[in-house]
Amino acid sequence: MILIVDDNQSNIFSLKKLLQSQNFPVDTANSGEQALSKALRNNYALIILDVQMPDMDGFEVAETLADYSKTKDIPIIFLSAVNTEKRFITKGYASGGIDYVTKPIDPDILLLKVETYYNIQEQNRKLKKSQQNLELEVKGRRETQVVMKSQLDHFQQMLEALPQIAFTLNQVGEIEFVNGRWFQYSKSEKHFPDIHPDDSVLVEEYRKQKDNLEIIALEVRIKNVETGEFRYHLLRMSPILVNKKIKNWVGTFTDINDQKRVEQEKDEFLSIASHELKTPLTSIKAYVQLLERKLKLDKSSPEAGYVAKVQHQIDKLNNLITDLLDISKIEHGKLKMNLQTNNLEEVIQNALETILHTHDENSIKIERHGQKPDFLMQFDSIRVEQVLINFLTNAIKYSPENNKVIVTTSVDEQDVKISVTDFGIGIPEYKQASVFDKFYRVEESSLQFQGMGIGLYICAEIIVQHGGSIGLSSVINEGSTFYFTLPRV
Ligand code: ADP
């Protein structure tokens, strides 16, 4: 808006008409005082100021406007009819005017000037606005930088406080940050700790897994810088994803050496104990058989019943010890499969007969469903039968209220699938994945049913060694289906 200041109403009127004819928004003031108060309240792009006015003349108004930050940059055109001498014109410029027009005015020239100054002022205003916006943005960015820096500091302090070795990597796998504990296992923040040569396969594994955008967890031995000792650590690395792309990795090494040692000692103890138990048990078994033959007991006599019970308990003990020995074989990579050409259906029938013999036939009911795999395949018949017997024994053991078990087989070009379904106690979903772990037993049922939690662990190893898969589905209080597959070729 343009402010016209003049004490003469007719001057104001004609100037206002002239400017409005060119669509300029116009405001007016008829004294210096009124002009000042209006200029402080409103935003003007230009002021056209008459020099001769009673009380406060145009020069004074201009000087006062120059004192206020709000008004100091408004361009002023002086209009004067009387003070046309050079000194007045000079004074006009000195007091802050950008032009000095003497009357009578040429309307075309005045309009051209007004238009130019008005435009310049408009441009200035826009420039100022964008400068202010820029300043605001710079300020905002600086503040965000400060916040980010403090968040980063906080994050690094948290990593420092961890009892583990902690580090971060950038997206290409270069080390970005390490905490203090890192230096117990590495001489510099640029180098990864030394990994035991026997664990270097795991490093390869880690390189492969790195592109999968998933959490990596590996057990590796790393070398303590001071003692030179290799200690077992759990290396865990989580990718931080932004828009499904890796931004960086957060990793930790947790010292699990003591747990590992205890575990190894336990495995060794089990291996030695089961070996030591096996020898006397074998002779007990032989002597009981000898005794049974020598005594020639009447099958219906109580004594014959006692001997049968002793033999049954010896068999149970023998199975337990065999399982423990299998575990130690798995630990040492010595559980080898003896692959031969066998008929799978015959193996299934053998397993079913064994189960029916060792259980009260009237108390269980086994149904057989699906296409029978009555053909030859390559597998270890003793070990596959062991898996089946384990599934069937569990199905009966963990179904105290229901005696029905279904064995289903299905055959396709690649695999044969064998499932054992029971209608027993079931397994809670979040515990299902663990039942194949060594010594794992579902807590809820562990007191009610006897067992050591190793049968399924051995089964999983046997099936994996055959190149098959093993798994289950289960609903608590409704029952479970355990299955395994064997490849046909
Ligand atoms: P064990 O039966 O000697 O404890 P397993 O390794 O055979 O050991 O089984 C591990 C655990 O899985 C068992 O302790 C039991 O909690 C659970 N489990 C296995 N089979 C079944 C089943 N058919 N129904 C319910 N729970 C089962």
H or E, element range at 286: helix 257-295
Looking at ligand 1, which atom is closest to the CA of residue 456?
A: 6
Instruction: Calculate how far, in angstroms, residue 444's C-alpha sits from the geometric centre of ligand 1.
Output: 11
Cα of 453 to ligand 1 centre, how many Å? Answer: 7
Residue from 14, 54, 47, 15 nearest 31 by CA: 54
pLDDT at 171 over 90: no
**pLDDT value at position 176?**
92
**Domain segments of the chain: what residues?**
2-129, 162-255, 271-331, 340-487
Helices assigned H by DSSP within 296-399: 302-331, 344-358, 381-397
Give the pLDDT confidence score for residue 146 in this predicted structure.
Answer: 95
CATH code of 162-255, in short, is 3.30.450.20
Per-residue pLDDT for 53 more than 80? Answer: yes
The per-residue pLDDT for range 74-112, each reduced to its tens digit, is 999 999 877 667 877 888 888 888 898 888 888 999 999
Going by alpha carbons, the residue nearest to atom 19 of ligand 1 is 394
What is the best residue among 364, 456, 457, 483 to mutate for testing ligand 1's pocket, by most ligand atoms within 8 Å of CB? 456
Which ligand 1 atom sits closest to the C-alpha of 452? 3
Asked whether the predicted pLDDT for residue 204 surpasses 80, the reply is no
User: Is the CB of residue 462 less than 8 Å from the CB of residue 417?
Assistant: no
Q: What is the average pLDDT value for the chain, to the nearest integer?
A: 92
Count of CA atoms in the C-beta half-sphere (13 A) of 369:
10
- Among 441, 446, 475, 483, say which to mutate for ligand 1: greatest number of ligand atoms within 8 Å of CB: 441
CATH, domain 340-487, list 3.30.465.10, 3.90.550.10, 3.40.50.300, 3.30.565.10: 3.30.565.10
Q: Is the pLDDT of residue 211 over 80?
A: no
Testing ligand 1's pocket by substitution, the residue of 390, 394, 482 carrying the most ligand atoms inside 8 A of its CB is: 394
User: Rounded to whole angstroms, how far apart are CA atoms 361 and 358?
Assistant: 8
DSSP classification of residue 70 = T
Q: Which residue's CA is minimally distant from atom 12 of ligand 1?
A: 435
Kindly give, in sequence order, each residue whose CB lies less than 8 Å from that of residue 39, ignoring residues fewer than 6 positions away: 3, 47, 65, 68, 70, 71, 74
Structure tokens at 378: 């390559």
170 to 177, 192, 233: CA distances (angstroms): 9, 14, 22
Instruction: Output the pLDDT for position 95.
Output: 82
User: Which pLDDT score is estimated for 255?
Assistant: 96
What percent of the chain clears pLDDT 90, i.e. is strictly above it?
A: 71
CA dist 304 and 315 (Å) reads: 17
Residues with CB under 6 A from ligand 1: 390, 394-395, 398, 422, 424-425, 427, 435, 440-442, 445-446, 451-457, 480
> By C-alpha distance, which of 206, 207, 187, 203 is closest to 195?
203
Residue minimizing CA distance to atom 9 of ligand 1: 453
Residue 267's pLDDT band, with cuts at 50, 70 and 90, is: confident
Residues 188-215, mean pLDDT to the nearest whole number: 82
Residue identifier of the C-alpha nearest atom 21 of ligand 1: 394
As a whole number of Å, the end-to-end CA separation of the chain is 91
Banded model confidence at residue 357, pLDDT cuts 50, 70, 90? confident
Which one is predicted more confidently, 403 or 468?
468
Strands (E), 216-321: 216-223, 230-242, 245-255
Residue 38 has pLDDT above 90, yes or no: yes
The per-residue pLDDT for range 299-333, each reduced to its tens digit, is: 899 999 999 999 989 998 999 999 999 988 898 88
Quick check: do 162-255 and 340-487 share a fold? Answer: no
Look up the CATH architecture of domain 2-129.
3-Layer(aba) Sandwich (3.40)
Ligand 1 centroid distance, CA of 445 (Å):
9
| pLDDT exceeds 90 at position 68 | yes
Compute the Cα dihedral for 375, 379, 384, 385 and give only its sign: positive
Ligand 1, closest atom to CA 482? 23
Tell the residue nearest (CA) to atom 16 of ligand 1. 442
Ligand 1 nearest-atom number relative to CA 457: 6
How far apart (Å, rounded) are the C-alpha atoms in residues 454 and 331?
13
CB 486 within 8 A of CB 409: no
Residue 17 has pLDDT above 90, yes or no: yes
Task: Provide the pLDDT for residue 379.
Answer: 97
CA–CA dist 124, 131 (Å, integer) = 10
Ligand 1 pocket mutation pick from 401, 431, 435, 436 by most atoms within 8 angstroms of CB: 435
CA of residue 313 to ligand 1 center, whole Å: 21
For residue 420, is pLDDT > 80? yes
Q: What is the mean pLDDT of residues 162-175?
A: 91
| pTM of the predicted protein model | 0.61
CA of 441 to the centre of ligand 1 (A): 6
